[in-house]
Each structure stands twice: as C-alpha cells, then as structure tokens.
Amino acid sequence: MRKFFLGAGMVLGIYVMGWAQEGTSSPGYLGTKTPYVFSGGAATPPPAGFRPVFISYAGRHGARFLTKEGTDLQVLRVLQSAEKSDGLTEMGLRVAKIVRHLLRVGKGNYERITLLGELEQAAIGERMHQHYGSVFTGRGLEVVTTWKLRTQQSAAAFLKGLGKYEGALKWERAPDSADTALRFYDLSPAYQRYKKSSGVKRSLDSLDKDERTAATAKRVCARLFRPAFARLMEGGGIAFVDDLYDLYSIGWSMSGELKAAGDPGDREGLGAAFDKDGLEWLDFRNGAADFLEKGPGFDSVGIQVKVAAPLLADIINSLDRAVGKADAPDAVLRFTHAEAIAPLAALSGIRGASSSARSIYLYHDHWRAEDVIPLSANIQWILYAGDGGTYLVKVLLNEREAALPVATRQWPYYQWEDLRAYYVGKLGELGVGLRENMQEYLRGLE
C-alpha cells in the first residue's frame, strides 16, 4: 500500500507540470499553493547508541480546492461579460474554457483536500515510518486537528501512509474558540489588529502601486481581451488578474480531479495567460503578505511570531512527556494551517524561516513561502534516546534537517537539555511559561 502513495504522487506531479505551466520546467511562482515536494535527501545518521523513540509533529493540510467560492466566480463573470460582447481574443476563449472546467470540477468541493493533497500527506506518513520505524511500538498515537475539514482529511491520509498501526489512536479536536495550540492566530485580538495595521497595509500598498503590478495586469488583459473591452477593465484589470492568478495557482492542486473529469484540451492551462515576469511578480506580491502576516516580517519577535508561543510550548510539553516515561504515546501528530506553521518556524529560529527584512522589497532574500509553507508543510521534532538516559533531538522543516540557534557538536542533533533550556528561556522572554493559561496569554498579547 505505501508504495502506491509514493509512486502515484510522482506520476501526478509530472501531470501537473504538463497541465498548467507555461515556459518553465517546474511548478514555480505558486507561493503557499506550491505542491509539496520531498527534497530532504539522505538523513544524517544519529550518534552511536541513539535511536528515535518519539515524534512531535505539526503539519499543514495537503493540497486543496479553493476554501470558498469567490475568486472563481468573479473571474468567470468577467470572462463571460467579455465573451458576450465579443471582447475575448483567441487566447481569452481558451482561458474561459479552462476556467469553466475548473469551476465544474471544484463545485461542491470547497475546503476539501484534493487527490494530490491525499498523496502528499500519505507520502509524508510513509517516509516517517520508513525513516523512524523504531518510534512506532504500539504505545499509541495522539492525532490533533483543527475543526476545518481539510485538516481532518489530511490526518486520515497521513495515517494511511503510516501503514497498519497496532496501538490506540486518540483523536483530538478542540473547539475553535479554545484551540490555542493550532489556531492561536484567531484568538489574539492584538494579532488581528496587527494584520489590519497601517504598517502592514502601507508595505503591501507599495507593492500594489508598484509599476510592475499595473504592467502585469496590462499584459495579461492584452492577451485575453480585445482592446475595446480591455480599456473598460476596472482598475486596469489588477483585481481580475489577481483572481486569475489565484485560480492558476489552485489548479495545480486539482490536477488529479481535472484529469479525471476530462482534459479541457489545452495543455498549457491557465499558465498561457501569464508570462514569466508576470508570474514572478504576482508570486512576490502574494508572498509579501504571508511574510508580514505569518512570518518574521520586519520584527522576528513581533506579534506575528510570538503569537505561536502556545504551539511551541505544546511541542516542548509533548517531549517532556516522552523523556523517560513509558506511558507516553509514540507520536503526537498535529494537522493545522499555514498560519500556524510559518510563525512556529520563525519562533523556533529555524534558519531560512526566521530572518526579518528591512524592506518589503528585500524579503525574498530571507524567506520564501514555497520553502517554508508549501502545501503539506511540516515541522518534526524527533526525540532520540541513548545509553544512560541521555536524549538528543533533531528538528526537520519540510523533512529537511534544520539548523537551530543552539550550540551543538553533533548537528543536526541537539542535546535535549540544551534545546529545552533555550526554548523555555525564549518563551520566558515573551512572558509565558509551559503551563500558562494560553487563552489569557493570547488575549493579553500586545
């Protein structure tokens, strides 16, 4: 069974590349909608005498359909309006046909993960079992999801990849109003104000007003619409092109369903509407919002990062339970959203995921959404037991060994005592302990 998930994922990935991308050989410029690709390479062997005994996992849901109707219908309305007035070019007619196909396939599937999402999750579970099989001794698994359907579906797919498990499965799903570990970002009034703040808005507005935004929209509209209709596009077509880019991006996740429903007859897909420079700029603008709202932004210990303290504390507490305790589960498997994974990576100080930027125009020098929070993004803390009651921990970001701001002579392995002391100290600097009331912490954040 596990070989099916890996093989099918590879085949599906090849089909995706053929369906949607124009002018490139890889699915670039998709930001947070980048399909998950395993690139962890060979694992560094642990020091002699150490073996993995516990895993604390936090992962984003798999590739999905649109979360709600909106951008898809708006794009279709514009294209239909143009078509009625004979305002579409030949390429515009092709794009309209593909958009209709996307809407047919996506109808009734909002918020759900796709076939690709199932394959992503199952493959991660399979590799976990292959690489860390000694962890799974039958002591039980704790599976924690948010109330969103896509995280529950992701957990189910992950467990299929993990294979037959003899121990008990304990499923947990906190009410949304009390989910401090996986949806902390919804429970902090100050964080919600931060996302709407003038500082964030000013930075994003600067990109919206950048000449490249209007120029990209102009080029796309010129490809799709006849001049008379293009001149009527509200705001120069910027909002339409942003929505079309959203559909283009989500189309990669729907590749299995699109193929099963019948190819629309155009191998370039919605990528035909864009040129490389346009896709690059659209990706940059979208990633900027993620960087400011979910990542290190302009302050690597700003509220958008320290809001993740409850999840970091939960991970440390789970490892505390596992160290030297026979009644601990084999693993704690959490399934959440990009809004949780990105700030956790930043708060953890993972290299490549935690550096702030002086200017929004420079953020790509430090952080890229496709590297930190692609679809099915994950952070794994793997506990290794050695002789004499000693423990090491290795942390993975998207199954790649992570460099942490803690001294070690055995990278990527860290002494558990050293790692714990560092993060407990960091939480202390934020004014929170491992046993705090996290709802009060989130409500009190400034």
If one compares 181 and 26, the residue with the highest pLDDT of the two is: 181
Can you say whether residue 70 is alpha, beta or left, with left for phi > 0 and alpha for psi between -120 and 50 degrees?
Answer: left
- Work out the pLDDT band at 267, boundaries 50, 70, 90: low
Q: What is the mean pLDDT of the chain?
A: 92
- Work out the pLDDT band at 269, boundaries 50, 70, 90: confident
Task: Give the pLDDT of residue 59.
Answer: 98
Between 26-30, 199-203, 332-336, the lowest mean confidence (pLDDT) is in 26-30
Q: Find the mean pLDDT for residues 184-192.
A: 97
User: What is the C-alpha to C-alpha distance for residues 333 and 209, in angstroms, rounded to an integer?
Assistant: 42
C-alpha distances out from residue 146 to 6, 189, 338, 349, 387, Å: 26, 19, 12, 25, 38
- pLDDT of residue 24 exceeding 70, the answer is no
User: What is the C-alpha to C-alpha distance for residues 137 and 141, in angstroms, rounded to an integer?
Assistant: 10
- pLDDT of residue 401 exceeding 60, the answer is yes
Q: Find the mean pLDDT for residues 8-18.
A: 36
User: What is the C-alpha to C-alpha distance for residues 132 and 331, in angstroms, rounded to an integer?
Assistant: 11
CB-CB contact of 377 with 335 (8 Å): no
Task: Give the pLDDT of residue 263.
Answer: 64
Q: Find the mean pLDDT for residues 74-98.
A: 96
Summarised one tens digit per residue, pLDDT across range 373-395 is 999 999 999 999 998 899 999 99
If one compares 342 and 25, the residue with the highest pLDDT of the two is: 342
Between 20-34, 88-102, 258-272, 390-404, the lowest mean confidence (pLDDT) is in 20-34
Between 14-23, 116-125, 395-404, the lowest mean confidence (pLDDT) is in 14-23
Q: Find the mean pLDDT for residues 187-209.
A: 97
- pLDDT of residue 316 exceeding 50, the answer is yes
Give long-range contacts, CB 8 A cutoff, 24+ apart: 66-72.
66/106, 66/110, 66/246, 66/250, 67/110, 67/111, 68/110, 68/111, 69/110, 71/243, 71/246, 71/247, 72/99, 72/102, 72/103, 72/106, 72/243, 72/247
- pLDDT of residue 11 exceeding 50, the answer is no
- Work out the pLDDT band at 327, boundaries 50, 70, 90: confident
Residues 6+ apart with CB under 8 A from 76: 96, 99, 100, 103
If one compares 109 and 2, the residue with the highest pLDDT of the two is: 109
Looking at domain 2-12+50-261+273-444, its CATH class is alpha beta
Task: Give the pLDDT of residue 41.
Answer: 77
Summarised one tens digit per residue, pLDDT across range 276-294 is 999 999 999 999 999 999 9
Between 10-19, 29-38, 310-319, the lowest mean confidence (pLDDT) is in 10-19
Summarised one tens digit per residue, pLDDT across range 106-130 is 999 999 999 999 999 999 999 999 9
Summarised one tens digit per residue, pLDDT across range 45-69 is 999 999 999 999 999 999 999 999 8
Residues 6+ apart with CB under 8 A from 360: 203, 204, 206, 207, 288, 291, 292
Task: Give the pLDDT of residue 19.
Answer: 33
- pLDDT of residue 428 exceeding 70, the answer is yes
